[in-house]
């Protein structure tokens, strides 16, 4: 007989999350902390490192603090980097720390750290509470009123209360449940390749950036770790590029920079030719009318990728995971209602961030000679604008990024 005073435990809900980068582990953290069992499948053999430094800003900083990882995140903060900005002839027009001068607000607690370091901080935080399965991916998803049946590429099958796609811009979850990627992806024009360089001969905390219209070449070394190479160039039909053929990155980049082989470009192209670990993608956004269907929901880039041009992809992934978890914890028996509330809370915020990426496009990768001339003029004049207090004229284009979403009323800690 049950003792009348014995507390009856509510049933534990089961979530399947696809993708172990930023959004997935963050969601796993919150859900497991509040009584859910979370299985997290990742297609790669381990958490993927790499990538350029990313930013945590505004509300994402508050979320990181609530997760108790803020101090850890700050330990990975990249230091000051003096970037030499070159004109089309390869001559220096300015030297500055682009992030500190133009993008981040150190006084507000913003942090810039290597993407892979943040992914590892989140993995370390959740490795004991979340059931991670690497080398695994969903194969089929069959939604029912009361559960979702899933089969995996390994042949396993299981059922969950909800399924969450946190598997990035090329989300498999989205394709299986919402339709083909081509229905939702908007290419902004450029292709980007990012990789760790073998030997760039760069001193720590230095970098170089070179532009011609429609193309950016950059190498950068933080206070620790290898130098990173970055090339981005606009192509006519980004959707037609085979991103699995990483060798095409070198071929296309060589064509894009043809006739502009200044030393930094030459060095980057030589290194790119020999690297086999590359982040190679179109610069694109995801726009989808609704981020949920039945018991399946999307979070992070799979739902609303803003592109790296916004500088906000990671922050809005972290915030999205927090809001989604908050709504699920408040209404565990009503996932559809929780998903609707999550979307209502952050859709306008992420759409503003997507809009800014389209606008900033002209700063990171100026598209034509006129845009490049104006951008270079701004960078050249920056020290003087700062001295005279006129730097606010620039803020419209740079620090105007929307970083703040009210999380009032969400009590999760
Ligand atoms: C290796 C890498 C390097 C990056 N470099 C940069 C960068 O330099 N600058 C920048 O702004 N952004 C970069 N990004 C993107 C950035 O991480 C995201 O924009 C942002 O942080 C949102 O994260 P997310 O968790 O939603 O998606 P993502 O970070 O894209 O993570 C998606 C995860 O899902 C996994 N996955 C994909 N398909 C499946 C599947 N079928 N089954 C299981 N798992 C799957 C991927 O391996 C990945 O771990 C990079 C992403 C990766 C994966």
Q: Which residue has the tokens 């200044």?
A: 262
Most confident of 60-64, 198-202, 386-390: 60-64
**pLDDT over 60 at 94, yes or no:** yes
Q: Choose between 195 and 9: higher pLDDT.
A: 195
The two three-digit tokens of residue 32, written as one number? 């497991």
| DSSP for 263-299, written as a single string | HHHHHHHHHHHH---EEEEEEEEE--S-SEETTEEE-
Q: Contact at 8 Å (CB) between 303 and 291? A: yes
Mutate to test the pocket of ligand 1, among 25, 166, 167 (most ligand atoms within 8 A of CB): 167
Per the document, the length of the chain is 413
Give the count of beta carbons closer than 10 Å to the beta carbon of residue 189.
17
**pLDDT over 70 at 278, yes or no:** yes
Arithmetic mean of pLDDT, 23-52: 95
**pLDDT over 70 at 203, yes or no:** yes
Residue with CA nearest ligand 1 atom 6: 51
pLDDT-above-70 percentage for the chain: 91
Domains of the chain (ranges, CATH numbers): 13-78+114-185+286-361 (3.50.50.60), 187-284+367-395 (3.30.9)
Residue 1's pLDDT band, with cuts at 50, 70 and 90, is very low
Q: Is 244 helix (H, G, I), strand (E, B) or coil?
A: coil
CA of 167 to the centre of ligand 1 (A): 7
Decide: 279 in ligand 1 pocket, CB within 6 A.
yes
- Cα 390–chain centre separation: 32
pLDDT at 401: 73
Q: Where are the beta strands (DSSP E) in 261-413?
A: 278-286, 292-293, 296-298
pLDDT at 393: 61
Arithmetic mean of pLDDT, 277-293: 95
Residue with CA nearest ligand 1 atom 9: 52
Decide: 194 in ligand 1 pocket, CB within 6 A.
yes
CA of 170 to the centre of ligand 1 (A): 9
Decide: 54 in ligand 1 pocket, CB within 6 A.
yes
Question: Of 56-60, 144-148, 357-361, 406-410, which gets the smallest average pLDDT?
Answer: 357-361
pLDDT at 361: 54
**pLDDT over 60 at 262, yes or no:** yes
Residue with CA nearest ligand 1 atom 37: 167
Atom of ligand 1 nearest to the CA of 22: 25
pLDDT tens track for 327-373? 999 999 999 999 999 999 999 999 999 998 876 556 678 888 888 88
CA of 168 to the centre of ligand 1 (A): 5
Give the count of beta carbons closer than 10 Å to the beta carbon of residue 283.
21
Q: Is 230 helix (H, G, I), strand (E, B) or coil?
A: strand
* Rounded CA Rg of the chain: 22
Mean pLDDT over the full length of the chain: 90
Burial class (CB in 10 A: 0-12, 13-18, 19+), 255: exposed
Mutate to test the pocket of ligand 1, among 313, 324, 354, 364 (most ligand atoms within 8 A of CB): 313
Residue 202's pLDDT band, with cuts at 50, 70 and 90, is confident
pLDDT at 400: 63
Residue with CA nearest ligand 1 atom 21: 314
Rounded Cα gap, residues 128 and 256, in angstroms: 46
Decide: 152 in ligand 1 pocket, CB within 6 A.
no
Atom of ligand 1 nearest to the CA of 173: 41
CA of 21 to the centre of ligand 1 (A): 6
**pLDDT over 60 at 97, yes or no:** yes
Of 319, 232, 282, which is closest to residue 22 (Cα–Cα)?
Answer: 319
Rounded Cα gap, residues 213 and 88, in angstroms: 9
Decide: 254 in ligand 1 pocket, CB within 6 A.
no
The two three-digit tokens of residue 295, written as one number? 């018991």
**pLDDT over 90 at 378, yes or no:** no
Q: Is the pTM of this model over 0.85?
A: yes
CA of 376 to the centre of ligand 1 (A): 31
Rounded Cα gap, residues 368 and 211, in angstroms: 10
pLDDT tens track for 128-164? 999 999 999 999 999 999 999 999 999 999 999 999 9
pLDDT tens track for 384-400? 777 776 666 655 545 56
CA of 302 to the centre of ligand 1 (A): 9
Question: Of 126-140, 187-201, 317-331, which gets the smallest average pLDDT?
Answer: 187-201
**pLDDT over 70 at 5, yes or no:** no
Arithmetic mean of pLDDT, 216-232: 90
């Amino acid at each position: 007989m049950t003792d009348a005073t014995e507390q009856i435990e509510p049933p534990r809900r089961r979530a399947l999350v696809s993708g172990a980068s930023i959004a997935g582990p963050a969601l796993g953290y919150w859900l497991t902390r509040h009584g859910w069992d979370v299985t997290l499948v990742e297609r790669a053999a381990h958490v993927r490192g790499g990538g350029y430094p990313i930013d945590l800003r505004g509300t994402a900083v508050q979320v990181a603090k609530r997760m108790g990882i803020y101090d850890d995140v700050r330990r990975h903060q990249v230091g000051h980097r003096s970037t030499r900005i070159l004109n089309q002839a390869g001559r220096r027009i300015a030297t500055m720390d682009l992030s500190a001068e133009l993008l981040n607000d150190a006084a507000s607690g913003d942090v810039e750290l290597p993407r892979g370091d943040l992914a590892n901080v989140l993995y370390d935080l959740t490795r004991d509470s979340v059931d991670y399965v690497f080398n695994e991916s969903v194969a089929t998803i069959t939604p029912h009123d009361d559960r979702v049946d899933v089969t995996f590429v390994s042949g396993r099958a299981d059922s969950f209360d909800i399924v969450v796609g946190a598997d990035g811009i090329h989300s498999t979850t989205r394709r299986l449940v919402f339709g083909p990627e081509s229905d939702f992806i908007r290419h902004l024009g450029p292709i980007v390749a990012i990789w760790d360089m073998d030997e760039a001969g760069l001193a720590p905390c230095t970098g170089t950036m070179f532009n011609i219209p429609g193309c950016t070449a950059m190498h950068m070394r933080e206070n620790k770790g290898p130098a990173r190479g970055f090339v981005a160039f606009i192509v006519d039909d980004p959707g037609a590029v085979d991103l699995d053929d990483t060798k095409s990155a070198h071929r296309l980049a060589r064509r894009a920079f043809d006739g502009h082989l200044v030393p930094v470009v030459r060095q980057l192209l030589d290194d790119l030719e020999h690297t086999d670990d590359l982040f190679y993608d179109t610069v694109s956004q995801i726009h989808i009318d609704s981020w949920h269907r039945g018991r399946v929901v999307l979070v992070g880039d799979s739902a609303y990728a803003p592109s790296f041009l916004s500088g906000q992809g990671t922050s809005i992934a972290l915030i999205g995971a927090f809001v989604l978890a908050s709504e699920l914890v408040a209404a565990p028996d009503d996932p559809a209602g929780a998903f609707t509330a999550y979307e209502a809370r952050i859709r306008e915020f992420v759409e503003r961030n997507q809009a800014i990426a389209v606008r900033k496009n002209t700063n990171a990768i100026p598209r034509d000679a006129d845009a490049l001339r104006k951008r270079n003029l701004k960078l050249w004049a920056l020290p003087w604008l700062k001295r005279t207090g006129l730097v606010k004229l620039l803020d419209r284009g740079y620090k105007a990024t929307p970083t703040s979403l009210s999380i009032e009323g969400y009590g999760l800690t």
